[in-house]
Amino acid sequence: MTVRLTVGAATDVGRVRDHNEDGYLIDDELRLVAVADGMGGHRGGEVASAIALEVLLAEFAERHDLRGAVVAANDAVYERSIEDDAVRGMGTTLTTGVLGDDNETLIIGHVGDSRAYLFRDGELRRVTSDHSVVEELIQAGELTEEEAESDPRRSQITRAMGLEPGVEVDLYPVAVAGGDRVLLCSDGLNGMVRDDVIAELLAAEPDPDRVAQQLVDAANDAGGTDNTTVLIVDVTDDGADSGGAADGSANTIVLDVSDDDADAAAEAPRGKRRFGIFGRRR
């Protein structure tokens, strides 16, 4: 089976903050996507998210080991933070997805409180668990989902990238099929927009780039108190697609990047690295 992945993304500084510390990555050759939400004073947050994405990409390209690449990204953020006083204490979330060698499993790697969701048959299901104080309290039965929404501790995270050497990475293999949409987002989205509203927008707008922008707009319309990043991976069965012939393999994966930033790179031949971005559109 040939699967086509079509990716759209949008990021925005929001209505309150003065700079965007989120970042995202799309790489079509590796079939790798990621969202990172940086934190730390001065410019630390955006340095942390950028380093995490850059090292994730480089390490995954080298060894094709998602967990190892996330740990290497963690260590790179940590090392920079102890070398450079200006960014000491910085950290970032990282939620990443890569299509496995079986061409039907999207492997999600996750640290922090960004999220991955699977939208299938009109139902939105969260894949990842937040590494946050309130999520732990919910798991322990001490807080309801509803109480958590207004809990003052809701931005406190219990695990992040770059705070110490080594990091525990949650891995979630997700069997994907045609029609599925996978959503990766920073907490600027789910902190502002309820899941049922997210699901409505995903159901109504088929274009992944457009729906990503609509979700960011919804977060801003609701107050936009944080940076918001949304990345949509649409899965379609596409056995007859001409892209499958690029390297003569029946299992070629074509990842179309329907993103404005990709226009210049879109002319490159299929099968070559066409796109890798660390996007901060404001």
- Closest distance to Mg ion from the beta carbon of 53 (Å): 15
The size of the interface with Mg ion (CB under 5 A), counted in residues, is 5
Contact 7, 259 (CB under 8 A): yes
Tell me, residue by residue from 173 to 192, as one string, x for binding to Mg ion by CB under 5 A and - for no binding.
-------------xxx----
Question: Counting every residue, how long is the chain?
Answer: 282
- Closest distance to Mg ion from the beta carbon of 92 (Å): 10
What residues numbered 37-76 form the site for Mg ion, per CB under 5 A? 37
By CB under 5 A, residue 226 contacts Mg ion: yes
- Closest distance to Mg ion from the beta carbon of 157 (Å): 10
Closest to Mg ion by CB, 226 or 234: 226
- Closest distance to Mg ion from the beta carbon of 79 (Å): 23
Closest to Mg ion by CB, 105 or 155: 155
Tell me, residue by residue from 19 to 38, as one string, x for binding to Mg ion by CB under 5 A and - for no binding.
------------------x-
Closest to Mg ion by CB, 186 or 220: 186
Closest to Mg ion by CB, 109 or 112: 112
Contact 231, 211 (CB under 8 A): no
Closest to Mg ion by CB, 37 or 46: 37
Closest to Mg ion by CB, 209 or 226: 226
Tell me, residue by residue from 187 to 216, as one string, x for binding to Mg ion by CB under 5 A and - for no binding.
xx----------------------------
- Residue type at 172? Y
- Closest distance to Mg ion from the beta carbon of 44 (Å): 14
Residues in contact with Mg ion by CB under 5 A are 37, 186-188, 226
